[in-house]
Amino acid sequence: MNSAIDSGNLGTAGNPLRVAIVGSGPSGFYAAEALFKSPLTVRVDMLERLPVPFGLVRYGVAPDHPKLKQPTLVFDKIAQSPGFTFLGNVTVGRDVSLEQLRTSHHAILFACGAESDRRLGLSNEDIAGSHTATEFVGWYNGHPDYRDRSFDLSQEVAVIIGQGNVAIDVARILAKPIDELRGTDMAEHALDALAASRVRDIHLIGRRGPAQTSFTFKELRELGDLAGCVTIVSGNDLQLNSACLSELEDKTNFNAAKNVEIFQSWTSHRAAAAGKRIWFHFLQSPVGIAGNGRLDRITFERNRLTGPAFAQLAQGTGEMVDLDCGLLFRSIGYRGLPLPGVPYDSSRGVFPSTAGRIDGIADLYAAGWIKRGPSGIIGTNRADAVATVQSLLADLPHLDARPKSGAEGLCASLARCNLRVLSYGDWRRIDAEEQRRGAIVGKPREKITQLSDMLAVAAHSHNRAQEGQMALP
């Protein structure tokens, strides 16, 4: 077929623009939405390595923040768009190669997020008792990859390194009364373990100062309202240098000023004899993790801030301080993972791109955290995905315009490998079953946490529906 002849009709009913989106989190769904809003005829095939969609909204958002999961209602509507196909349980790079995708689709848009973590670079980082926040968050959210992790919650002292919103989630889940978590969709195994937790002192430790934390002030303020828990900040830590003061005076830095205000209001708090305590420490970097086979001490070096306002860096002073603890969560940010054939910036953990176009390969695009790194809230990904889709649509005249087989072609080859590909209908059956199980125990849902169980529920419900015994959602 002559592409020069066909290029004019790409994006019409006779030759729909077929885009493969890799990943089914917020940026993937927002990219699909932007594509469907274009005047072209578009087919979107969304590939997801798990059997179920929604990425970090399902597996990252804390269970006690259900409002933040509301975007799934929007995603559900997007999934009803004519021309949308969900291909769950398909791993790109393992079940489908990049070359296969480039053959079956006109463009590939990566929205696969940041699945790994930054490292501290310390020896003993992986000693027993030391975990990434990702593991803990995945565990309490019932992520199949993390459901079998265990955390020694018999420890009384837990340390969290990093001062961003993930660190706050970890601290809050450790500190919150268990009865306030029971009515959430937290995985049952996590509720059981947290109910027996003896963690009492939670230390949140940042390498820079109180004016440079990455917390959003609403999340920070919530820690101060937890029942049976006191937040503790030393007044000495709030002596700010002139660069910090000018940072706080900048109107665009409103969030940091609110954070400092909140810290100030906590300086009068004293450690209570009973209950839990969240301690904030600033200007300390971990330099040693020690223990005989399992963690029992972390050594921090005290820092001072150097550099101009908004570019202040932590510089070690040589002064050391030890903290005895049995449980450590490293919460210093996520990293995207490489994928065979796709350019990768290993220092940032992203697919390097310009305006969403992956550098060096014509028909590859990126949106969300794999494009810009792990920053922003869920809504940030909408504008980000729209910008990438604008680039993709502007490139239309340069794409290989020959008709492509899309999901149909892919599914045929996946079926030959005996891979069970889950549809959006399958997800709806899993969703209905999770909600049914949740209702029995007074939760919005009881997540199915094992891949084989998800596949079994999808297959079983599908068969029953086909036999007419069950109404499909």
Is residue 214 at the binding interface for ligand NAP, with CB under 6 A as the rule? yes
Is residue 209 at the binding interface for ligand NAP, with CB under 6 A as the rule? no
CB of 374 to ligand NAP, least distance (A): 5
| Choices 251-259, 262-270, 292-300, 374-382 (CB under 6 A): range interacting with ligand NAP | 374-382
CB of 378 to ligand NAP, least distance (A): 7
Place of tokens 């809003």: 37
CA distance linking residue 332 with residue 166, whole number of Å: 9
CA distance linking residue 176 with residue 211, whole number of Å: 26
Residue 463: Cβ-neighbour burial (10 angstroms; 0-12, 13-18, 19+): exposed
Residues in the chain: 473
Is residue 376 at the binding interface for ligand NAP, with CB under 6 A as the rule? yes
CB of 154 to ligand NAP, least distance (A): 26
Site string for ligand NAP, 249-288 (x = CB under 6 A): ------------------------------------x---
Is residue 184 at the binding interface for ligand NAP, with CB under 6 A as the rule? no
Is residue 210 at the binding interface for ligand NAP, with CB under 6 A as the rule? no
Is residue 31 at the binding interface for ligand NAP, with CB under 6 A as the rule? no
Q: What is the 3-state composition of the chain as percent helix, strand, coil, each rounded to the nearest 5?
A: 40, 20, 40
Transcribe 244-302 into DSSP letters. Answer: HHHHHHSGGGHHHHHHHHHHHHHTT----SSSEEEEEE-SEEEEEEE-SSB--EEEEEE
- Sign of the Cα pseudo-torsion (186, 189, 192, 193, in order): negative
Is residue 377 at the binding interface for ligand NAP, with CB under 6 A as the rule? yes
CB of 313 to ligand NAP, least distance (A): 8
Is residue 342 within 8 A of residue 99, CB to CB? The reply is no
CA distance linking residue 468 with residue 378, whole number of Å: 39
CA distance linking residue 215 with residue 27, whole number of Å: 22
Is residue 374 at the binding interface for ligand NAP, with CB under 6 A as the rule? yes
Is residue 163 at the binding interface for ligand NAP, with CB under 6 A as the rule? yes
User: Judged by CB, which is closer to ligand NAP: 58, or 208?
Assistant: 208
List the one residue from 106, 207, 335, 372 that touches ligand NAP (CB under 6 A). 207
Instruction: Please state, as a whole number, how many other Cβ atoms lie within 10 Å of the Cβ of residue 470.
Output: 15
Q: Tell me which residues in 106-125 interact with ligand NAP (CB under 6 A).
A: 118, 120
- Taking CA atoms, 13 is separated from 10, 46, 102, 301, 401, in Å, by 9, 20, 20, 63, 13
Residues binding ligand NAP: number (CB under 6 A): 26
Which two tokens mark 332?
């210093």
Is residue 206 at the binding interface for ligand NAP, with CB under 6 A as the rule? yes
| Choices 161-169, 304-312, 320-328, 435-443 (CB under 6 A): range interacting with ligand NAP | 161-169
Is residue 138 at the binding interface for ligand NAP, with CB under 6 A as the rule? no
List the one residue from 162, 210, 336, 368 that touches ligand NAP (CB under 6 A). 162
List the one residue from 264, 265, 375, 452 that touches ligand NAP (CB under 6 A). 375
Residue 12: Cβ-neighbour burial (10 angstroms; 0-12, 13-18, 19+): exposed
Give phi and psi for 215, each to the nearest 5: -65, 145
CB of 65 to ligand NAP, least distance (A): 6
CB of 212 to ligand NAP, least distance (A): 6
DSSP for residue 14: T
CB of 375 to ligand NAP, least distance (A): 4
DSSP for residue 350: B
The Cα diameter of the chain in Å comes to 79
CB of 239 to ligand NAP, least distance (A): 19
- Binding residues (CB under 6 A) for ligand NAP: these are 118, 120, 161-167, 169, 206-208, 212, 214, 216, 219, 285, 331-334, 374-377
